[in-house]
Structure 1
Amino acid sequence: MEEVKKTVKNKKNVEEVIISKIRELIVSKHLEPGDRLPAERELAQKFGVTRNQLRQAIQKLEFYGLVKKYPQSGTRISNIGVTALNNMMSDILQLQKPDFKSLVETRIILETNAVRLAATRRTEEQIEEIQKAHKAYSEKAIKGLDAVEEDLMFHIKLAEASNNSVINSLMLIITPEIISHFIKNKVCNKEENYLLIQEHQEIVNAIRDKNPEKAVAHLQDHFKELHKYCED
């Protein structure tokens, strides 16, 4: 476990070094807004990192909108001004790992809105995907088996049905850690599993019926346990 923590920390440190070096190139005007980043191999050699490490750091910058990939044109620095780029990169480097309460509050906000949107925007194909994920979860949970991945997939499918790419991306980031926490700290019995299965199905039914109010109400019932973590 200690070795894993060290690996994660080292990975974060390398990302921070790469982002800092890219920031230095921008501040020193070796790179300017709108410029294309040098070739991956060249930049990795210049920074003394692997291409995979460089790629992960650039993906992080892309997520925050500081660089953008263009087909047949490579990755370019966003055209938002040197001062803004410098300040935003500083903010990224200072980001702290969010506490569990903050993650839970954010998930409740995101998924409530995702479910509300899903109930009005979902396609027939998306309803089928949600139901398929629910079935996969139910089959394992009803037997008392570990169904973490299936539970995660169910909630991800709900987010996808919102047809809002930002909500979906954010849910992909925060949901796995929250679900993992519950699995480590709580083992549901069969009675609780039956209740969770029923709650999932009620959410699915409301989305299928295109009833946003009911979908949100059933989700709030499903989140009773989560709400405890948000109480002072």
Structure 2
Amino acid sequence: MILKPIKTRKIYEQIVDQIGQLVVEGHLKPGDRLPSERELVDRFQVSRSSIREAISALEMMGLIEVRSGEGTYIRQVNIESVVAPLAWMLFIEKDTDQELYEARKILEVQAAGLAAERADEEEIHGMFKTLEIMRLDLALHRSGEDADHYFHYAIARATHNKILIRLMNTISDTMQKALRNSRAKLAEDRDTDTPQKLYDDHYALYQSIKDHDVERARQAMMDHLVGVENQLSK
């Protein structure tokens, strides 16, 4: 029998759990305003930094909305709450890169195939414009993480699958934050051809979707994700 050591939970995680439970039990409803940061410090008897970490986590989970100059409000519960635990896991776990790439292979490889089958001319042109931004980023030695993110989301939109689009929309920001350092590291690796390889991968994806070649699109996405994963493992 294998037993794991007990780990002390961080303070902000306990704050998140309490606020989340209040939402589940109906004590906090969509549109309700949370107490101010100072009030939360007094009520929880914790530091400001713990409150700020908790607010950041809750916002990433999609449970609250921070309105500049107005306060922090509980969001309307909808389909996004289904993937809130995933957002929370990615926020607090530090060693999920491999698992994230496994999940992306399942989700995005099939999305690429659907996009190749269903993408219309406007969506294909949008992917091309994103590629042009990526090409400029490459020439200027910029990381290109934003264009990378938008390109993958454009593929999800081109599936015309409402559930898949909503799922990608919900978790894409979380995935972008979780992978930001990795993308920047790869793009800044000027001792290799990695930046050019990243661009070439995306161009191959674009071309296969433009040609409406379903199997080639799936393979191009798999090759891209496996290549990035292998490069990061080095």
TM class by shorter-chain length? 0.5 to 0.7
Share of identical aligned residues, percent? Answer: 20
Q: Deviations over 1:71-97 (max 9, x none)?
A: xxx75679xxxxxxxxx99xx699634
Q: What's the counterpart of residue 85 of structure 1?
A: none
Q: Which residues of 2 match residues 200-215 of structure 1 at below 5 A? A: 200-215=202-217
> TM-score w.r.t. structure 1 length?
0.60
Q: Which has the larger radius of gyration?
A: 1
Pairs aligned (count): 195
Q: What's the counterpart of residue 170 of structure 2?
A: 169
**Aligned-residue offset at 1:112:** 1.1
Q: Deviations over 1:32-67 (max 9, x none)?
A: 45973683055867644899888656545656xxxx
Q: What's the counterpart of residue 119 of structure 1?
A: 116
SS in 2 for 1:40: coil
**C-alpha contact 2:62 2:75 (8 A) present in aligned 1:** no
Amino acid across the alignment from 1:136: I
SS in 2 for 1:177: helix
Q: Deviations over 1:161-188 (max 9, x none)?
A: 3342103433332244335224326614
Q: Does 1:147 align with 2:143?
A: yes
Amino acid across the alignment from 2:113: R
Counterpart Cα distance in 2 of 1:62 and 1:109: 24
**C-alpha contact 2:208 2:216 (8 A) present in aligned 1:** yes
Amino acid across the alignment from 2:104: R
**C-alpha contact 1:34 1:77 (8 A) present in aligned 2:** no
Q: What's the counterpart of residue 134 of structure 2?
A: 137
> TM-score w.r.t. structure 2 length?
0.60
Counterpart Cα distance in 2 of 1:226 and 1:25: 41
- What is the alpha-carbon root mean square deviation over aligned residues? 4.3
Q: What's the counterpart of residue 40 of structure 1?
A: 33
Relative to 1, partners in 2 of residues 1:36 and 1:200: Cα closer, same or farther, differing over 3 Å?
closer
The answer for unaligned runs of 5 or more in structure 2 is: 1-9, 43-47, 64-73, 79-83
Counterpart Cα distance in 2 of 1:195 and 1:25: 48
Counterpart Cα distance in 2 of 1:100 and 1:208: 30
Relative to 1, partners in 2 of residues 1:44 and 1:75: Cα closer, same or farther, differing over 3 Å?
farther
Q: Deviations over 1:106-149 (max 9, x none)?
A: 223222122122223323322222111101111231x2612323
Counterpart Cα distance in 1 of 2:172 and 2:31: 32
